[in-house]
Amino acid sequence: MCVIFSSAVLNLHVLKSQIDTMIEERKDFADELAAKIELAKSELKHKSDNWEELSHKVENSKTSWLVAGISSPLNSASPLPVRPPCYTAISSDGSQIFPDRHQALPCYLLNISSVTLTYGENGEAFLGSDPTLYYSDEDRFATWGGKKVPADAEIISLKRTLMEFERILTLAKENEARENVIALCDGTLILWRLEAAPPDFRDKAMEPFIRVMDRLRDLRIPILGYISFPGSTDVINALRVGLCPEKISLCNQCPYTDLPELPCSPIEGLTDRFLFSTILKPGEASPVFKSSSKILDTYGDHHIHFFYINIGEEIARIEIPEWVALDSELLACVHTLIFDQAKKGKGYPVSIAEAHEQAVVKGKDRDFFFDLVREVLVKSDVKVSVSRKGLSKRVPGV
């Protein structure tokens, strides 16, 4: 039998035609997007004059979307506060090696970083990370809906997130004597993964998180979640509620479904980022809004609020617990220091970037980890068994 191998080559002629089509459609989308943004800006200004009315309507409406809670005029912009001459930014991030059933032992590793950057007089930096190996049944299984289930990627990722918060608390305690200390997290402070979790797992996971938030509040060290290039639509959705002709919007009883276009749909598809990119000047922050995520019912005094800030390079979403949102001094501290951190990081907070670099576990690190486990097992006279799939990844075929 004769086998002929041919090199795989992209059909550039066909691909070019598809790219041309994509670009044309993108131009049409850009024109449509610009029109939607102008309408949203107009609606934002109009609703700002009677924001209390819109706030009441949002609170009493029932939609299938996340809608921002409103407590001030929507079109107000806070100027950048004066940055204190000395401050400290702390951050933590995590990475993991998930368990692999094709390897010699069922275990996993979490690597949690620590970053403390102090600016001004006596400025200093501390960067580091600590790996932790998990292998016992207590670590490899979790109680989920009354049943003992293997810890999968979702459960392990949540464990890593909680460890990041606990590490931040440790760093906060070590720096509580300093002035102007701020804690930065990469991403949301809303534990979305727990929304669909059964109560036994959710409640157990929430305990350490609430404990961290309680202690940070006692220390008066604000914590924030930094979301780059956010895709959230909470504020746009509030404006959509405002577009609804009904006094109270009940989406599941919408009387306009027979119309060619729903009254709320003209600005559908916009994100908050698009809207505030046309309103906020560099350094300015939007009003503070309240998130309506269901999981926040379990947050107690730490309900999450958010605002948008123009850091120059992009519009970022900043999430903060309620006790920060209601404290004008802490809120101003968050505003000015997150802007400074982003500038120092050339568009992204330098403390968060450093925390990621310290925590990241690369592919070669993963291979070395499993090699080390096998090596120690062999030296200890423990029989090693690796699946054929596990071996095939290590031994090239052709």
pLDDT of residue 194: 96
pLDDT at 378 over 80: no
**Which structural domain, as residue segments, surrounds residue 267?**
87-363
- Output the average pLDDT for the chain: 90
- Other Cβ atoms closer than 10 A to 219: 15
Name, in order, each residue with C-beta under 8 angstroms of 292's C-beta and a sequence gap of 6 or more.
66, 67, 68, 69, 234
Residue 139 lies in a domain: yes
Residue 23 lies in a domain: no
Q: Alpha carbon of 40 to those of 241, 360, 393: distances in Å?
A: 12, 40, 52
Residue 257 DSSP label: T
Phi/psi of residue 95, nearest 5 degrees: -145, 170
Residue 246 lies in a domain: yes
The string of pLDDT tens digits covering residues 102-132 is 555 788 999 999 999 999 988 999 999 999 9
What's the one-letter identity of residue 372? L
Looking at per-residue confidence, does 30 or 28 come out higher?
30
The string of pLDDT tens digits covering residues 58-72 is 999 999 899 999 999
Q: Which residue has the tokens 């979702």?
A: 154
CATH number at residue 254: 3.30.2170
As to burial, measured by CB atoms within 10 angstroms (0-12 exposed, 13-18 middle, 19+ buried), residue 80 is: middle
pLDDT at 5 over 60: no
Residue 66 lies in a domain: no
- 3-class DSSP state for residue 75? coil
Q: Please give the helix or strand (H or E) that residue 11 lies within, else none.
A: none
Mean pLDDT of the 86-105 span: 85
Pick the range with the lowest mean pLDDT from 2-16, 261-275, 331-345. Answer: 2-16
pLDDT at 398 over 60: no
Number of domains forming the structure of the chain: 1
Query: Taking the alpha carbons of 251, 252, 256, 259 in that order, is the dihedral positive or negative?
Result: positive
Confidence (pTM): 0.88
Separation of alpha carbons 146 and 163, rounded Å:
24
pLDDT at 340 over 70: yes
pLDDT of residue 391: 44
Name, in order, each residue with C-beta under 8 angstroms of 345's C-beta and a sequence gap of 6 or more.
351, 352, 353
Grade residue 275 by pLDDT with cuts at 50, 70 and 90. Answer: very high
Whether the Cβ atoms of residue 339 and residue 80 lie closer than 8 Å to each other? yes
Dump the DSSP string for 14-50. Answer: HHHHHHHHHHHHHHHHHHHHHHHHHHHHHHHHHHHTT
Residue 41 lies in a domain: no
pLDDT of residue 387: 45
Whether the Cβ atoms of residue 164 and residue 93 lie closer than 8 Å to each other? yes
Opening angle at CA 91, ends 89 and 95, nearest 5: 160
Residue 55 lies in a domain: no
Nearest CA to 181 out of 227, 223, 120 is that of 223
> Which segments within 170-293 are labelled E, that is strand?
181-186, 223-227, 289-290
Separation of alpha carbons 301 and 286, rounded Å:
23
Mean pLDDT of the 146-164 span: 95
**Two structure tokens written together for 236:** 């746009």
Residue 154 DSSP label: H
Separation of alpha carbons 92 and 161, rounded Å:
10
**What share of the chain has pLDDT > 70, as a percent?**
89
pLDDT at 386 over 60: no
Residue 308 lies in a domain: yes
pLDDT of residue 19: 87
Residue 127 lies in a domain: yes
The string of pLDDT tens digits covering residues 192-228 is 999 999 999 999 999 999 999 999 999 999 999 999 9
Name, in order, each residue with C-beta under 8 angstroms of 105's C-beta and a sequence gap of 6 or more.
135, 373, 377
Beta-carbon-side half-sphere exposure of residue 266 (alpha carbons within 13 Å): 16
Query: Taking the alpha carbons of 213, 215, 218, 219 in that order, is the dihedral positive or negative?
Result: negative
Whether the Cβ atoms of residue 153 and residue 118 lie closer than 8 Å to each other? no
pLDDT of residue 201: 96
Q: How far is CA 317 from the centre of its chain?
A: 9
